[in-house]
Amino acid sequence: MNNFTFYSPTYFVFGKGTENTAGQCVKRFGGSKVLIHYGGGSVVRSGLLDRVKASLIKEDISFIELGGVKPNPRSGLVYQGIDLCKNEGVDFILAVGGGSTIDSAKAIAAGVKYDGDFWDFYEGKPIEAALPVGTILTIAAAGSEGSGDSVITKEEGMLKRGAGGEALRPVFSILNPELTQTLPAYQTAAGAADIMAHVFERYFTNTEEVEITDRLCEAVLLTMIKEVPRVIADPNNYEARANIMWAGMVAHNNLVGVGREQDWASHGIEHELSALYDVAHGAGLAVIFPAWMTYVYKHNINRFAQIATRVWGCQMNFENPEVTALEGIDRLKKFFTSIGMPISFKELGAKEEDIPAMVEKIGLGQGGTMGGFVKLNSKDVEQIYRLAL
Ligand code: NZQ
Ligand code: ZN
């Protein structure tokens, strides 16, 4: 196991009706003038936004609003949010929605504390400071409610890039599984694919003797395999929603990833898909991950056989572990299909002729590589896109 530090200071409030504590939570973390940030309107239609406002009013906290965050959030609204916060003296940002809203809130939070262009952070500049961000999560997916990451798309050139830093970890996150019951089945499934992908990015490692994190990863995956079909069959199944919601947090606050080298190539490869076609990030991952696995499994057949037996319940073929490894990948594809996720370019609506442009945009150039488990160059990335056709 590698040395590591782990600091995950988010205060979580989980369960039914917890959105009504938003005002108390903001107060607890020192907010006095709040920007409520939200998406395309689901929180308005569900009545959640009104409940959140009532909770702030009850605590005498003043607020302004900025809605309109799109899935795969854009830089334009971030600039607008930064100006608004600076002009209005906002000292706290409350994100009400999914990963896109939370990521947009984080970008605004960092931008307010910086005199330059916030996009600098998405080109690698370290984030030193940010306004405090609180979240009220409405979809189990990105894990942004417990992570120090934010992913934004720059409209100019449709560049989708991530930034990270401890200053971006939400100070509190309110997780009420009931709020996810209004999600369309496709969004629920895309969220589930993203959660599983966050585990895969960590599971496929070259670091040896990481049994504790292997087992934690497997626990999250086993939970998803059990619970996701239950919510697809019955969207109002609170207990299944609750397990998935917490799994989404556990999968991405890095508890299951410490002490080991991680991969993250599939996320980079997927980001070009969601940037170009504006598809749900989780749906893009359902297409890319099986292709990536098929391309790299020979690098460590035993690790692929391990996940196949421990997670997918495959019988170990001791004479030929490769058969077991491939069976595991096949089980994953079947699982994605069973929950309504695409597993090919065709099903996603992506086009073969766009592959060279996507490879180019990843920007590995001549000598560059991506990924920790297997270092991929531009040619490898192109092969993975082609395997996903
Ligand atoms: O915008 P509204 O109207 O709210 O509708 C949203 C949106 O259309 C809808 N939705 C959310 N909660 C709902 C609901 N509809 C009905 N009822 C509800 N309760 O769902 C749609 C998707 O929302 P979005 O926020 O985009 O979903 P998600 O949480 O999957 O976030 C995706 C973004 O997160 C990034 C992705 O790249 C993508 O841009 N990621 C962020 C990460 C992070 N910050 O740590 C890590 C991830 O790997 C990921 O890259
Ligand atoms: Zn993701």
- Centre of ligand 1 to C-alpha 197, Å, is 15
Q: Is 153 helix (H, G, I), strand (E, B) or coil?
A: strand
Closest ligand 1 atom, residue 72 Cα: 39
- Centre of ligand 1 to C-alpha 141, Å, is 7
Are 100 and 71 contacting, i.e. CB atoms less than 8 angstroms apart?
yes
- 135 Cβ neighbours under 8 A, 6+ residues apart: 94, 95, 96, 102, 105, 144, 145, 170, 172, 173, 174
* pLDDT tier, 153 (very low <50, low <70, confident <90, very high otherwise): very high
Residues around ligand 2, an ion, CB closer than 5 A: 194
Domains and CATH numbers, the chain: 11-179 (3.40.50.1970), 185-387 (1.20.1090.10)
In angstroms, rounded to a whole number, what is the distance separating the alpha carbons of residues 274 and 342?
13
Task: List b or e across 26-45, with b for residues whose CB sees 16 or more CB atoms inside 10 angstroms.
Answer: beeeebeebbbbbbeebbee
Residue 338 pLDDT: 98
Mean pLDDT of 88-116: 98
* pLDDT tier, 306 (very low <50, low <70, confident <90, very high otherwise): very high
Q: Show the tokens assigned to 28.
A: 């607890």
Are 324 and 308 contacting, i.e. CB atoms less than 8 angstroms apart?
yes
* pLDDT tier, 342 (very low <50, low <70, confident <90, very high otherwise): very high
Instruction: Give the whole-number percent of the chain exceeding pLDDT 90.
Output: 99
In angstroms, rounded to a whole number, what is the distance separating the alpha carbons of residues 230 and 237?
7
* pLDDT tier, 64 (very low <50, low <70, confident <90, very high otherwise): very high
Average pLDDT, the chain: 98
Residue 182 pLDDT: 96
Residue 18 pLDDT: 98
Residue 352 pLDDT: 98
Residue 143 Cβ contacting ligand 1 at under 6 Å: yes
Residue 86 pLDDT: 98
Residue 284 Cβ contacting ligand 1 at under 6 Å: no
- Centre of ligand 1 to C-alpha 142, Å, is 7
Residue 281 Cβ contacting ligand 1 at under 6 Å: yes
Which one of the ligands is nearest to 274 CA?
1
How do residues 279-295 score in pLDDT, each as one tens digit? 999 999 999 999 999 99
Are 199 and 221 contacting, i.e. CB atoms less than 8 angstroms apart?
yes
Residue 268 Cβ contacting ligand 1 at under 6 Å: no
Residue 127 pLDDT: 98
Residue 287 Cβ contacting ligand 1 at under 6 Å: no
Residue 367 pLDDT: 93
Mean pLDDT of 107-112: 98
* pLDDT tier, 333 (very low <50, low <70, confident <90, very high otherwise): very high
Closest CA to 201 of 217, 187, 216: 217
C-alpha to C-alpha distances, 351 to 153, 163, 354, 387, nearest whole angstrom: 20, 28, 6, 13
Q: Which residue has the tokens 């309109």?
A: 68
* pLDDT tier, 256 (very low <50, low <70, confident <90, very high otherwise): very high
Mean pLDDT of 261-279: 97
Mean pLDDT of 270-278: 95
Cα 271 off chain centre by: 11
The interaxial angle of helices 185-203 and 265-277, nearest 10 deg, is 150
